[in-house]
Structures are given as C-alpha cells and as structure tokens.
Structure 1
Amino acid sequence: MLAVLVGLFLALRPFSSLAVLLIAAVVGLVVAGGTQLVAAGRDGRHLRWVSGALYLAAAVVVLVWPGPTIRVLALVVGVALVVDGALDLWAGVRARGTARWNACLGGAASVLLGLVALAWPDVTLLVVGLVFGLKVVMLGARAIVAVTTGRPARAGARERARPGRWRLGGNAAVLLLAVVVAVVSVGLQRGAHRPDAFYTPPEAVPAEPGRLIRSEPFAADWVPDGVAAWRILYTTTRDDRTPAVASGLVLVPRSSVGAGAPPADVVTWAHGTTGVSPGCAPSVLESGLAAGAMFVADQVAAHGWAMVATDYVGLGTRGPHAYLVGDATARSVLDSIRAAHQLGGVALADRTVVWGHSQGGGAALWTGVLASSYAPELTLDGVAALAPAANLPELVHSLDGITGGELFAAYVAEGYTSTYPDVRFDDYVRPAARTLVREMAQRCLEDPGVLVSVLSTLVLDKPIWDGDPDRGALHDRLAQNVPSGPIDAPVLVGQGADDSLVLPAAQDAYVRARCDAGYAVDYRTYAGLNHVPLVEAGSPAMRDLFAWTGARFAGQPAADTC
C-alpha cells in the first residue's frame, strides 16, 4: 500500500519542489526495492533479488550524489527502469502462459518509461514524477495482489487463472499508458523549434552595428501574395556595447524589387512575446510573424509598405535574450533597419514608422527614445505602441493575479537574471519553483511543450516569486527599463480597455507620466478589447493604426491627447 501511495504522489504531484521530489523519489526507490526483496524472499526468484538491489542502489546514488539535480534524478530513475524492465522481459521469456504475458507487458512498460525519462531532455519534472510514479504504483499493486490472493505475482510462479488475468489486464493498461506517454513525449520534442545553420554567425563578425552579414530568400505559407521576403542576419550590440548578432525578416512588395523600382515606405515591426530561447524567433516559428501578434502583414503589403521585423538578440541567434530590457531590444530594431537597407535589388524609402505590441510595444517606445543617440542617421516618422509593456514594475507586480502569468514571470526571471548580474535568480524565485521556472523558460509559446508549462501554472499553489518581486535590484532594473525619455517622432499608444495582461490602469499611469513630463502622446483606448484581440485583423485599433501611419508617411501633423 505504501508503494501505491508514494507512486500516486509522484504521478499526481510532479511539480513539487526539487527537494520534495527528490525525497519522494528516494522513498519510492527504497519502497520499490523493498517490495522486490520481500517478494524475492517469498518466491525465491533470483531476478527479484537483482531488481530489489538495483532500486536500493539507485536510492543510494541519489542520496550521495553531490548536489543532485533533476537531470541526475531523471538519469538514475531512467536507468533503473530500463534495467528492471529488461529483467522482467528476461523472466517472461523463461515463463509460461499468463505469467509470461504479465512479465513481458510489465517489462516492456518499464523499459519504455525508462527510455522516456532518459530521452526527454526538457520536461523532466513531469517525466520523473509520472513515469517513475506509474512504475511504483505498478509494483505496489503487484504486491497487494500477491498478498490478497496468497500467491506470488511475479513471472515464473504458478498463478490462479482469475488473478492472473486480472494482473494481465493491469499490466496491459500500464503498457498502454506508457505508450501514450512515449508518443506524447515524442510529439512534444518534435514540435520544439530550433534554429538552423543560417543563424550561426561567421567566425569574423563585423564590429560595426547594423551590418548585414547574410540574407537569403524566405518562403512560407503566411507570406502575403505579391511580396518578396528575405531572412537576414546582421550585427548589433549588447547592453555592454559588445558586438552581437541578430536575425529578422524583411518583406517588400514586389513592385519595389529590382532596378529602378520605386522605394517602399517602411514599417518596422517589434514583435510581442514568443519566448526567451533561440527557437522562439518569429523567423523560425511556423506561424512566423503571427507568433509575435502580427496578424495584418497582408494589409501592410496592400498599402505598398515594406516591413522589417527583427527577432531580437537571443531569439534565433545565441542568447541570452534580454526579455523586456528596452535598450537591448531597441538596438535590435534600429540595426535591423540599417541592415535591411543593404539588401541588394530592394528599394526602401527613408520614411520609417515603428510598430510594436506588448513586449514589442515597449521595444517600439524604446526605439524612439534611443534613435537619436544610437542611430542618428535614421529618421523615424512615428512610433506606435499597442498594449506596450511600458510600466514594467506594475506589470511584473500584477502577474501573480493573471491566469498563466507565471509563464511570463518565468520569462522575466530568466531574462533579467541573465542580463543583470545584480539580479540574482535565487533572490527572487522561491526554492520550490526554481526548477519549474527554469524549465518553463526553455519553452516557446508556440511549442507544443508549452502545454506542460500551462499545466504547471495551474497546479502551482503559490506564486513563483519569493516575496514581492518589485523590490531591490529587480525593482531598480525594471524601473530603469521604463521608456520614459524623449521621443522626437509622434507617438501613438493604443490600449484595450479589457486587457487582462497589460492592465489599463498601469497603462493610464504610464501615459499620464509622459504627459506630465511634457511629451506629446496620442493615447487611444478601445472598449471590450483584450490583449491580443487589440491587434487582430478587423480591430478598430488596426484601422486607426493604418490611418495614423499613412498620415505619418504623408507628413501630416499628429494629434496630442495629453
């Protein structure tokens, strides 16, 4: 019964802290080993002695390993399951009748679960808890059956027909569940996005920011008709001004491609949150720019405008990705404009308007702040920020009360602790959530594996933060990344009144602060619109955005609602 209870805990509570999971796993290994040894003393089967000793040895390895990690636990559990399953299969080959099938089905399930634990490099908390929990439950159930029927339940023993068939059905069910776990794991891993060789920079990278390193034609189902597209690799800089490499996409109406073609006005797109690992770049993801909330690329092309869309440093290219770090993302945006103008045979006008949504909205505002000092040769005709992540201290403070907010909080924790040495991961993430946060930060919003992240957030009983995140070095860095400086170009801020992620009250406070500082802002709110619907095709905010952008290209004066 103890084995069943421990196994159920592991299977149903895999998102406990690493310490709790380690303790439960060690208890499970000891219980599994003890169950096997007791059964060996009852039926005298030598393979049971080997299996029991294996589980006890695995428990010792976990206990004595210095600083055991979840990957160590996955390795130990995976090896134990594979070896024990192989012993079961060997016993099944030597047995007869129902005993053979029981041993073979149970052994196959154990081997399959062990291979999943060894081969699954990402979702390790779920793997260790689920696959080992199922094994411990199976062993406990065997022991219970053996005690209640008065017969041994292992291969090679004589079995009454009815209990044997009952155990056969149980082993078949466990094997079926193991197959399901394996199939799901393969699907999740195959669905994870990874950059190809295009994103690998050459050994000699130019120090000058905004230099085009390479480009190649880009084709995808989502690229609008009548548009030529390229993906580009270009130079930019990190916060410490060391050279870096970023990637992006350039979409140009075919009417502006070729010798003598009229130049197209440029919309520069700063995308919303897609994740913080290299595979999360929109140019890598299957849905492309839509992954970062660009749903109107066809309308941009219909207006005859070109679009330059950076991936940011660390998405596509080597990280870290400075998530919600304004200066860093702004440099990626500005250098993408510089690089796009170096594409051969492409006619781009000097007129440029910056668009951004959510994370990209904050990046767009920062692009306006940074443009005159970082890229004085560029002229921005307008900056449009839709539901921008601008009031960062308030945004991070409110994530605990938002469904799924823990996922974005994990991105913040990863982005800020990898960017700023004074923001320490262990100072802000509670011990019970640290392993889980690291794992969530590895997944893109478009990866199938993000379902595990969503499941994780639903079963968490506390926030990921160790106390209030809006304090100390993190507070100072968040405040530092509020786009509060002057912007020479006209500024449009659009906000959904029903936004549940970037809260309207926080946006109101940000705009009010800009107005109080004497900066002009055209601030528009949209009743009934949440965070993503604000930028979907057909949204009144999009109609306003296209009209506002056309007016900027035409040199018309901009409104000021302050």
Structure 2
Amino acid sequence: MTEPAVDEGSGSARGGWARRHRRTVTVLTVLSVVVALLVADGIRRYAEGEAELASDPAFYALPSPVPTGQAGAIIRRESIASAPAGSTAWRVIYHSRDLAGEDIPVSGIVIVPNSPAPLDGRPIVAWGHPTTGAATRCAPSLGLDPFQLMEGMHELLAEGYAIAATDYPGLGVAGGSSYLLGVPESNAVLDSVRAARGIDEAQIGDRFVLWGHSQGGQAVLFAAERAADYAPELTLEGVAVAAPAADLSALMSDDIVDISGVTIASYAIPAYTAAYEDRFGEEAISAILTPAGATATPKMAELCLLAQNEQIHAIADPLVGGYVTSDPATTEPWRTMLRENSAGASPITVPVFVGQGEADELVIPSATEEYVARLCAQKTNVSFHRFPGVDHGFAAYASVPALLLWLAELESGTPKGNCPA
C-alpha cells in the first residue's frame, strides 16, 4: 500500500497556526487575569472608599483652638484602606503656615509603593492638584477615590517614588481659602513633604521633586522659588508643571470673558478678600464686581468643580461678560495682588519641566510660552514640551511619558533642557 504524500508546506502552516493560536490564547489568558485583578481591585477600593466616607467627618474635625506645632508636624493621621494595589497610603493633617505666617492645619495624602526603600530613603514627589473648588468639602482627599486627581500616580509609584498630595489650606480641614494664593499654597506643598517624612514606616528621604497641574502648577512653582528658605533641610531636585497658572494677570485677562474666568474669579475673590482686606480694604477689593457678580460670588464659591458643574453653569453662564466692571489684571488693587501671586518673581535654581497642550483654552499656550521665556532669561534649565491637540484637562496626563524620561535624566545628572542658545 502506498504511503500518502506529505505536504511539508501545509504541515508547517498548520504548526505555525497552532503556535500562534497557543500564543494568542496565552496572551488573552494573561490579559483576562490582569483585567480580572483590576476589576477586583476596583471593587475593593470602591467598597473601602464608601466605608471611609462615613469616618471622614470625625477625622477632619479638629479641636478649637488647634494646638500649635512646627511646620510639617503631623496633627493626625489614619491609614487609607482603599489605596491602590501594591501601595500603602495615609490621610494626614499637619501644621503649615498661612500668608501672615500663622500656624494652620492642612490635610492631604501620603502614598508609598510597597517595594523596598533605598538605604537613604525613598525620593518623594510633592503633588499640586488642579482646581477642585474653594469650599472645604472640595478637597481631593475627601473624595470617594481620593487618589483620582494624582496625575501620573501609578507611573511614579512604579518608579519607586513616594507621593505627598496636599489639599491646600481651606480644603478638607475648615479654614480660610488659599485659592491661587502662592505663599500659603506653597507652604502647604512643602510641609506635606515634611509630614510624609514624619511617617516612619514610609521610609522617605530628604530628596524631593515638585509636580503640579494648573492651580497646582502655580503652587509648586512658588514652592520651588521658596524651598531653600522655607524648608532648607530638604533637597529639591527639580520642579515639573503642566499647563501652569503661572501668570495670574494673563490668566484673568484671557479667561474673564468666559465661564472659566467667571468660575476662577468666584473662587479667588473670597480668598483674596480675606487675605488682603487689612492691606487694601474689603470695599476696594470687591469693587471689581458688578452688582450681579457680587450676588453670585458667594453661591459659586460654595460649589465644587466637576462634581457640581451643572449648578456652576446655571449661575455663571448669565454672568459671562457682566461679572466684573473691568479687567482685574489692569485694575488696582487686583493688579498688585495678581502680580504678587504670579510665579517668576524669584529665579528657580533647579531644572524645570513644562508641559503645555496646544489646544488649551484655559491656560493658553502663549501664556506658558512667555513664562518659559522668562525662565530661560533667568538661566534656568528648562525642558519645554508642547502637545498638539491636547486641552487643559489632559495636559498633565499627556506630559507623563516625557516627565518620566525627564525624571530619569534628573536622577542620573542634569536634564538637557531646550532653552534657545
């Protein structure tokens, strides 16, 4: 009986298909496991977050008066059960300083990877979050997912960084708002690093990097300018920002004609009135408002961005074009107050990373370009990255890949920078 002929090509094809099929099944199996783990962790974090919401009011309620303490000293802390898998986190309340240098309590979060810490302690990123509102309940640490606004958190933890994320004064713990006030915001950022180092089991060293988005960009730029004087025991290695609210005069002039500007101003006016009324008088500060603007401001100042956008629009939309009597950037005392709270008055002596979306209509690209030009004129080492098609909300996320490369350069030496020669 004749043996059947063997088609070598057909057998090879069948073998190749089988191997590809097995690889596909393996990849799909791995992806299924990963997705299942992510879903399970998400369910766990949601359940833990719901439980933590019930205990939040007691944690944030402090005795009156609060005993004084050194800047950065922890007043109270608690573990956060809803921390992402592979990390450990704490909610903290710590001492900081307001515009007048008075002791104030500030809340925030510290999160560390569960990987072993270096012998000299973990490096830490001090995160400045974008605008969430100006009312106490708008604090990121009070959210169902208190880690949601830490842009780049997972990547930074994977690289071995700890993260300290302040709420800023007036958010979380009741107190005067610090919205767009550079000194108290930056104090809170720097003191969050001190607080994180006060958690022994976090194993955090003295090296830190600043990273902020929008309002947080203003806060961390101020922190970079002031770090050597305010926190000389810490070693600042660099500062990174995405779409920073660096020049408040430009921000107000660019945005006051739309709903974003009305919302920003409604948060800033109460904060600036409380901070500067002794110097300029409440009447002079509030004179910038139209009668309709004066009526609406207290209502808007109590609303949280994102969570209450519909209510914000209902109040602010009719006020567009009729909220203020003149451009705050050119009207005293606002002209002086905005200038004093804009970054750039003092040189930054560490490398700076700047990310900017070219489709940003809030912090417009030309404003960031002018700030970068100022840094370059001050001989600062600047790495400036533009992202086509990226708007304000996604500027920080778009910046993360370039940020990680910049951080690697920072660890190994000095980033190249791209200021004009």
State the TM-score, normalizing by the size of structure 1.
0.61
Question: Map of 1:207-286 to 2, 5 A cutoff?
Answer: 207-220=69-82, 223-256=83-116, 263-286=121-144
Q: For the Cα contact (< 8 Å) 2:95–2:191, is it kept in 1?
A: yes
1:419 is aligned to 275
Q: For the Cα contact (< 8 Å) 1:193–1:285, is it kept in 2?
A: no
- SS of match in other structure, 1:233: strand
Name the CA distance, whole Å, in 2 between partners of 1:523 and 1:557: 11
Name the CA distance, whole Å, in 1 between partners of 2:81 and 2:395: 28
- SS of match in other structure, 1:499: coil
1:407 is aligned to 263
2:348 is aligned to 487
2:410 is aligned to 552
Higher share in strand:
2
Gap change, CA 1:452 and 1:379, over 3 Å in 2: same
Name the CA distance, whole Å, in 2 between partners of 1:407 and 1:193: 30
Q: For the Cα contact (< 8 Å) 1:249–1:283, is it kept in 2?
A: yes
Q: For the Cα contact (< 8 Å) 2:357–2:389, is it kept in 1?
A: yes
1:438 is aligned to 298
* Greater Cα shift, 549-558 or 227-236: 549-558
Gap change, CA 1:423 and 1:361, over 3 Å in 2: farther
**1:397 and 2:258 equivalent?**
no
2:70 partner letter: E
Q: CA offsets per residue over residues 412-435 of structure 1, 9 Å max, x none?
A: 222212221126353111112212
State the TM-score, normalizing by the size of structure 2.
0.81
**1:288 and 2:143 equivalent?**
no
Q: For the Cα contact (< 8 Å) 1:389–1:395, is it kept in 2?
A: yes
Q: CA offsets per residue over residues 221-273 of structure 1, 9 Å max, x none?
A: xx32100010111001111111111011000112248xx98832211101110
2:77 partner letter: S
Stretches of structure 1 lacking an aligned partner (at least 5 in a row):
1-191
Gap change, CA 1:251 and 1:461, over 3 Å in 2: closer
**1:468 and 2:314 equivalent?**
no
Higher share in helix:
1
Question: Map of 1:320-339 to 2, 5 A cutoff?
Answer: 320-339=176-195
Name the CA distance, whole Å, in 2 between partners of 1:194 and 1:464: 39
2:41 is aligned to none
Name the CA distance, whole Å, in 2 between partners of 1:545 and 1:402: 31
2:227 is aligned to 371
2:287 partner letter: D
- SS of match in other structure, 1:196: helix
Q: For the Cα contact (< 8 Å) 2:252–2:261, is it kept in 1?
A: no
Stretches of structure 2 lacking an aligned partner (at least 5 in a row):
1-52
Name the CA distance, whole Å, in 1 between partners of 2:411 and 2:223: 18
**1:508 and 2:360 equivalent?**
no
Question: Map of 1:73-222 to 2, 5 A cutoff?
Answer: 196-202=57-63, 203-220=65-82
**1:384 and 2:240 equivalent?**
yes
Question: Map of 1:52-63 to 2, 5 A cutoff?
Answer: none
How much does 1:464 deviate? 1.1
Name the CA distance, whole Å, in 1 between partners of 2:387 and 2:259: 22
2:153 is aligned to 297
Name the CA distance, whole Å, in 2 between partners of 1:357 and 1:413: 21
How much does 1:559 deviate? 1.8
Q: Percent identity?
A: 34
Name the CA distance, whole Å, in 1 between partners of 2:175 and 2:225: 24
Q: CA offsets per residue over residues 110-136 of structure 1, 9 Å max, x none?
A: xxxxxxxxxxxxxxxxxxxxxxxxxxx
Name the CA distance, whole Å, in 2 between partners of 1:266 and 1:461: 41
Which structure has the greater CA radius of gyration?
1
Gap change, CA 1:346 and 1:426, over 3 Å in 2: closer
Name the CA distance, whole Å, in 1 between partners of 2:177 and 2:408: 33
Out of 433, 441, 457, the residue aligned to residue 316 of structure 2 is 457
Q: For the Cα contact (< 8 Å) 1:271–1:289, is it kept in 2?
A: no
Question: Map of 1:15-30 to 2, 5 A cutoff?
Answer: none
Name the CA distance, whole Å, in 1 between partners of 2:302 and 2:55: 11
How much does 1:195 deviate? 5.8
Q: For the Cα contact (< 8 Å) 1:230–1:251, is it kept in 2?
A: yes
How much does 1:274 deviate? 0.5
